[in-house]
Amino acid sequence: MLSTFFNQGEISLRKRQTKSGQIFLFIIILVIGALIIVGLLSALSGRGRNSPTVKEVLWLVDGQEVTSSTLGKEVEARITIVATEQYVGSIVVRIKKDVSMWFDKDFTVSTVPVNLAGGDEETLRVNFTPDEASSGGLGNLRGYFVEIEFQATRSTWDMENTYPPRLKVSD
């Protein structure tokens, strides 16, 4: 009789432990599932929307369009973009140093908030003064170029990897 009582208590305890273990496992699975769904929605939120297109990028020195400049002269990068549909967000313009056979380096970074309707055109201007002349050889500076990041759509545009349109700088 006493052993039956303990066996029933043991069985009841095992059932409760099993049931609480199953509930705990179910909660863990729900939390992991929720995190995966939030991550996917976040990753896909910028997709499906088109980034504005880069219509034109010009280098200007003293108001004149150039393909090369001299060291110490102020240069204006003038970027014209066109929205293919509504675009609300920031555009990051990076003037980068093109280093031969090595990683390119940010030289000047400018972030511009924009609110464009489809078909709108926006001109962005970034001024900088080159601090290094272009030279040949491995690991040396080839010149400067523009990279544009459309943050709302998580996309980037890089200037073509030729000279011109990239900017050469002489001593």
Q: Which two tokens stand for residue 13?
A: 């305890």
Which residues constitute the domain of residue 7? 1-45
- 41 and 72 belong to one structural domain: no
- 103 and 33 belong to one structural domain: no
Residue pair 80/86 in contact (Cβ under 8 Å)? The answer is: no
Nearest C-alpha neighbor of 150 from the set 65, 72, 88, 62: 88
- 27 and 106 belong to one structural domain: no
81 burial via Cβ count (<10 Å: 0-12, 13-18, 19+): buried
Nearest C-alpha neighbor of 90 from the set 71, 113, 109: 113
Who contacts 103 (Cβ-Cβ below 8 Å, separation ≥6)? Answer: none
Q: Which two tokens stand for residue 168?
A: 């050469």
- 38 and 77 belong to one structural domain: no
**pTM assigned to the model:** 0.71
Task: Quote the distance between the C-alpha of residue 153 and its chain's center.
Answer: 9
Domain count across the chain = 2
Tens-of-pLDDT digits for all 171 residues of the chain?
A: 555 555 665 666 566 666 777 777 778 888 887 777 766 666 555 445 788 999 999 999 999 999 999 999 999 999 999 999 999 999 999 999 999 888 999 999 999 999 999 999 999 999 999 999 998 777 799 999 999 999 999 999 999 999 999 999 999
Q: Any idea how long the chain is?
A: 171
Task: Indicate the SS3 state at residue 129.
Answer: coil
CATH number, domain with residue 111: 2.70.50.60
> CA-to-CA distance for 54 and 79, rounded, in angstroms?
7
Q: 144 to each of 15, 25, 170, how far by Cα in Å?
A: 71, 56, 12
> CA-to-CA distance for 66 and 31, rounded, in angstroms?
57
- 37 and 108 belong to one structural domain: no
The identity of residue 96, as a single letter, is K
